[in-house]
Structure 1
Amino acid sequence: MVIKIYISGISGNKEVKKRQQRVFMILDSKNVEYESIDITEPGKEDVKEFMQSNSKARDSKYPLPPQIFNEDDYCGDYEDFDLANEINELEAFLKVTPESSTAELTTDSKSNKDSSQQNGNTSSREPSTDKDAVTVQSESLEERTGPVSENGLEDNKTVKSPEIVKKDTEDDEADQMEDNADKNKEEKNDQEKEE
């Protein structure tokens, strides 16, 4: 059984592109055998119709790629996939046995992936930007404690990931810009009063 990922190779939606890249990245990292099917290629109208009729739409009229199937059996969309990955139930989501999920990528899926990279559709692999996933990731990282000290006990310092440090820095910069704007308004009001 082959996992089939229905994608859009020419989507103008950046979120769709990011999601497709993340699905490929996760499946590659777990050595899951899959086949990428581009519904926007000429002559693939029947494939697009199959995907749309057998998938569930969330916020739009039609289901958006990526949509994940195990052969012709619908598994779910990106949000279902991402949730299953976060809670370590990807094999159950994909409806695969442990033996088949560790198989190497087939030459066909590698060539599909390579051709999509040559078209510039998978230029970067960024982490999920979904608010829920970021929240879950941030909460779990902030709860971790520091490394073990020399006496074998854990230090009680919180270890922050680079993403959390970056977010904290961005928040501090935004606060500073807001404070500067308030100061500028106050100075302007003082000048007007003096005049």
Structure 2
Amino acid sequence: MVIKVFLASSSGSTAIKKKQQDVVGFLEALKIDYAQLDIASNEDNRMWMRENVPGEKKPTSGIPLPPQIFNEEMYCGDYDTFFEAKEDNSVYEFLGLTPPPGSKKKELVDAEQNGDAHTEDDPGKKAETDAQEENVEEEEPAEEDEESRNVAEEEEQEEGEEDRAEDGLVSEEEEELRELEEEEEHASEED
């Protein structure tokens, strides 16, 4: 199964660019295979995306904005639903994928299949489960953590550079307003 992320390579919106970077960066950090499909330079990709986003998921304008995420032909969601899944630690379920071995979600799925899913009723079992989950987390290689941090640092650096570039841009109206205010200050100081 291939995750398809529909992006706009030449978007003028920094918000869309940041959302696209967030989705792609997170998929890379989790080492999930995906394909980037550009809707800005490929009309077929654009039409396919627009036709396959379910009607109830389309915005009021009728045109879904990137990023839009699919698992093969199955619609997963847009950036907002991806972000919610990310916050809930349910990205694999959002994408329709099985969580990798060692992840908390994978252990819960396995427990449900074995009939051991409801350990919350017994506090002792819950404490054992929590301790086991902590041990599994500690056993995960530090390389993945370091790689995730490197990806996150690169994204933060890129965002910082974009913000600085945006901060340097001042509209002509703002510039005129600033000059008028300075002239008024000088005039009031002379009086």
Higher RCO (C-alpha 8 Å, min separation 6): 1
Q: 3-state DSSP class of the match of 1:125?
A: helix
Q: What are the residue-to-residue correspondences of 1:154-193 with 2, within 5 Å? A: none
5+ residue gaps, structure 1, are 103-123, 128-187, 189-194
Check the 8 A contact 1:18/1:125 in 2, yes or no.
no
Check the 8 A contact 1:57/1:63 in 2, yes or no.
yes
Q: Which amino acid aligns with 1:125?
A: E
- Counterpart-to-counterpart distance in 1, 2:84 and 2:52: 20
Q: TM-score, normalised by structure 2?
A: 0.51
Alignment correspondent of 2:63: 62
Alignment correspondent of 2:49: 51
Between the two proteins, the alignment pairs up a number of residues equal to: 111
Alignment correspondent of 1:22: 22
Alignment correspondent of 2:151: none
Percent of pairs with identical residues? 42
Q: 3-state DSSP class of the match of 1:88?
A: coil
Q: 3-state DSSP class of the match of 2:12?
A: coil
Compute the displacement of 1:30 (Å).
Answer: 0.9
Runs of 4+ aligned residues of structure 1 deviating over 4 Å after TM superposition are none
Q: TM-score, normalised by structure 1?
A: 0.50
Give CA-to-partner distance per residue, 1:19-51, whole Å, 9 cap, x none: 00000111111111111111112xx21211110
5+ residue gaps, structure 2, are 104-153, 158-187
- Counterpart-to-counterpart distance in 2, 1:49 and 1:18: 23
Given the superposition, is the C-alpha separation of residues 14 and 24 from structure 1 closer, same or farther in structure 2, using an over 3 Å criterion? same
Q: What are the residue-to-residue correspondences of 1:53-132 with 2, within 5 Å? A: 53-55=51-53, 56-58=57-59, 60-99=61-100, 125-126=155-156
Check the 8 A contact 1:18/1:126 in 2, yes or no.
no
Aligned-CA RMSD value: 3.0
Check the 8 A contact 1:22/1:126 in 2, yes or no.
no
